[in-house]
Structure 1
């Protein structure tokens, strides 16, 4: 049986140290929120996307424009595509479900509204618009929601 020399032990210690550093870096990286290349595209409906929605709501309330596109996938169907544009005074929110083969009434619906907010229930955060054309001024229309279990 051959014994390890001092040089071999030093190499093993250095390799173990490097492996430990790399494992630590991976653990730190796993705890950071994912950086998204396209901040205006909402697809995960996770905490990062909710923060982007909150930013859009804040910008609207400050009178600053913004735009987002959201892809909301069903369990066994095509996506609902939400295109949201606001100029700081009005929100133009279009819901397009024409790619959903299971939709009862496929088509596009546009909401033109002058208020937006985030409502909280026990299980969801709901994005609600109000003061919309063709609706009662105080009617809250929930257009998208974030499941708290996924955040």
Structure 2
């Protein structure tokens, strides 16, 4: 050990440089921006700006007569998820809500088949509205999902 005593200052400087380098790499990794895309574009779970943009894309595709599909998982505060399935062929939109896993609410499935969809803006929300639905009155509108503006 005595023969390495003269190298102690250099070893301390080298160790310090390694610590600084690793700290810099860690800080850079922590500050990386969140990616602008998700692996599963057709799965809506965050109800954030990226998910709202995906809803807008689906509405746009529907109005162009192109098909699309989405699945949404909407969690309650003290219950299981509501599972929303959207499917459209460019002419009709099928919306199914499966709440069989929700312990506190309705235990079943609801399905609507509609020919109109739009995104409306109210004071605190962006709301998806379906209208012109089968077996429903002419002025019937259903709101399957909303996005809180303060969470975008």
Structure 1 and Structure 2 fold alike (TM over 0.5): yes
Decide which moves more: 51-60 or 33-42.
Answer: 33-42
What is the distance in 2 between the residues matched to 1:58 and 1:34? 20
- What stretches of structure 1 move > 3 A for 4+ residues in a row? 4-22
2:3 counterpart residue number:
none
1:45 alignment partner, one of 39, 44, 47: 47
2:61 corresponds to 1:59:
yes
* Contact 1:33-1:48 within 8 A present in 2 as well: no
Residues in 2 aligned to 1:97 and 1:13: alpha-carbon distance in whole angstroms: 57
Q: Which runs of 5+ in 1 are unaligned?
A: none
- Give the CA deviation at 1:121: 1.4
Distance 2:137 2:29 in 1: 54
Give the TM-score taking structure 2 as reference length.
Answer: 0.82
State the TM-score, normalized to the length of structure 1.
0.82
Unaligned runs of 5+ in 2: 1-5
Partner of 1:26: 30
Q: Give, in whole Å, the separation in 2 of the partners of 1:86 and 1:122.
A: 29
Q: 1:62-85: CA deviations, max 9, x gaps?
A: 111001111111111111111110
**What is the correspondence of 1:100-119 to structure 2 with a 5 Å cutoff?**
100-103=102-105, 105-119=106-120
Number of aligned residues: 147
Residues 101, 10 of structure 1: alpha-carbon distance in 2 compared, 3 angstrom cutoff: closer
Which is greater in Rg? 2
Structure 1 Cα separation of the partners of residues 126 and 66 of structure 2: 23
Q: Distance in 2 between matches of 1:14 and 1:98?
A: 55
RMSD: 2.4
Offset, 1:108: 0.9
- The 1-side partners of 2:10 and 2:141 are apart by 74
